[in-house]
């Protein structure tokens, strides 16, 4: 009897989540023209509790997307513009000497001033322009959800989501993210140039007098509930096995590795890649009002989950091999059957 009640409740919860996600997507879509895939990936990162690396040329609306997302979910948002002279303390905050008040009035005391990292959604704009030292300041925040400054560890707000952007063209004076940091990102999302209709729509919407703003659709509590529900989505063994096979096939020494992987890949995806794929597949299925992910869901998120985790070797870099091509070949070759 209790199972029946749970089933009905769960059904209602799933319906509600689907409705909320649809509303969230629609709300963001009111501001962002097109880029549905990017929007869905950002929402996926939000629900999965992961971080997203958004890569695209300037002017494609990356910052606007993240800002709109923050508005729609009614979360605290902060934006950090990464520059070469940006210091870690500029991100995590620092202790400053202040005159104490009260009993110790007049005496100098060190008081911690939180940095912009203390927000629910942090936009790390052009993250690759900062020095590795500064970039690494994000490592703890992204991995642990905490910040240590002045010998004291402070917890970041929940939910905490870092959405970083980087420009793939301007490589001069940039510091590519190290593999360890890249692995912290759940997805690496590529923002494509909009199509003709979308561009016309963008022009129409942004050059007129109207200025669209996203209204809050869900809040932090609801996001927490949805995160919990998403992780309850069951996955069939065949899908899980497919994820494992795909991840293993990105390693050049695996028997299922494709020719491109064997020749041009130095390191394959980590287990975090598998986790990212499975979580992304679950959320994608939920967004599509399905109760369990399929192989197609895995394939749909595989590129974003793996492309920053597969490292090309020198030959691959020299040949200009696309990682997406390698991943596509892997997806095509790995069998879906048992």
Residues found near other proteins in the complex (CB under 8 A): 2-3, 6-7, 9-11, 13-14, 229, 232-234, 236-239, 285, 288, 290-292, 294-297, 336-338
Beta carbon of residue 75, minimum distance to other proteins (angstroms, whole number): 25
By the 8 A CB rule, do 276 and 186 touch?
A: yes
By the 8 A CB rule, do 54 and 165 touch?
A: yes
Beta carbon of residue 288, minimum distance to other proteins (angstroms, whole number): 7
By the 8 A CB rule, do 96 and 110 touch?
A: yes
Peptide bond into 159 cis (omega under 30): yes
* Closer residue to other proteins (CB): 240 or 322: 240
| One-character DSSP codes across 153-167 | EEEPPSS-EEEEEE-
* Closer residue to other proteins (CB): 14 or 122: 14
The conformation of residue 145, written as its DSSP 8-state character, comes to S
Beta carbon of residue 71, minimum distance to other proteins (angstroms, whole number): 30
Beta carbon of residue 13, minimum distance to other proteins (angstroms, whole number): 8
* Closer residue to other proteins (CB): 6 or 148: 6
| One-character DSSP codes across 214-278 | PPP---HHHHHHHHHHHTT----HHHHHHHHHHHHHTSTTSTT--HHHHHHEEE---HHHHHHHH
Beta carbon of residue 333, minimum distance to other proteins (angstroms, whole number): 17
Largest CA distance in the chain: 74
Beta carbon of residue 284, minimum distance to other proteins (angstroms, whole number): 10
* Closer residue to other proteins (CB): 11 or 155: 11
Closest CA to 116 of 143, 87, 64, 79: 79
Beta carbon of residue 19, minimum distance to other proteins (angstroms, whole number): 16
* Closer residue to other proteins (CB): 241 or 266: 241
* Closer residue to other proteins (CB): 146 or 232: 232
By the 8 A CB rule, do 162 and 124 touch?
A: yes
Q: HSE-up of 7 (CA within 13 Å, CB side)?
A: 4
* Helix %, strand %, coil % of the chain (to 5): 50, 15, 35
* Closer residue to other proteins (CB): 161 or 298: 298
């Amino acid at each position: 009897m209790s199972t029946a009640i749970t089933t009905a409740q769960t059904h209602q919860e799933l319906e509600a989540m689907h409705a909320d996600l649809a509303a969230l997507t629609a709300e963001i879509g009111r501001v962002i023209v097109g880029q549905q895939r990017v929007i869905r990936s950002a929402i996926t990162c939000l629900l999965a509790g992961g971080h997203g690396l958004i890569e695209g040329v300037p002017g494609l609306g990356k910052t606007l997307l993240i800002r709109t997302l923050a508005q729609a979910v009614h979360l605290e948002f902060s934006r950090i513009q990464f520059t070469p002279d940006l210091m870690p303390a500029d991100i995590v905050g620092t202790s400053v000497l202040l005159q104490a008040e009260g009993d110790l009035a007049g005496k100098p005391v060190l008081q911690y001033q939180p940095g912009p990292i203390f927000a629910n959604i942090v936009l790390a704009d052009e993250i690759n322009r900062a020095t590795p030292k500064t970039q690494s300041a994000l490592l703890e925040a992204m991995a642990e959800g905490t910040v240590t400054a002045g010998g004291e560890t402070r917890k970041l707000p929940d939910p905490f989501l870092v959405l970083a952007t980087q420009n793939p063209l301007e490589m001069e004076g940039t510091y590519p993210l190290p593999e360890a940091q890249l692995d912290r990102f759940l997805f690496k999302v590529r923002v494509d140039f909009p199509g003709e209709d979308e561009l016309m729509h963008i022009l129409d919407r942004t050059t007129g007098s109207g200025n669209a703003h996203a209204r809050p659709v869900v809040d932090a509590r609801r996001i927490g509930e949805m995160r919990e529900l998403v992780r309850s989505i069951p996955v069939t063994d065949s899908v899980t096995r497919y994820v494992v096979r795909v991840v293993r096939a990105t390693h050049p020494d695996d028997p299922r590795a494709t020719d491109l992987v064997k020749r041009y890949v130095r390191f394959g995806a980590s287990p975090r890649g598998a986790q990212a794929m499975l979580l992304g597949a679950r959320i994608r299925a939920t967004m599509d009002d399905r109760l369990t992910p399929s192989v197609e869901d895995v394939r749909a998120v595989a590129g974003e989950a793996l492309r920053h985790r597969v490292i090309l070797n020198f030959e691959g870099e020299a040949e200009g091999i696309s990682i997406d091509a390698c991943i596509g070949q892997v997806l095509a070759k790995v069998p879906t059957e048992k």
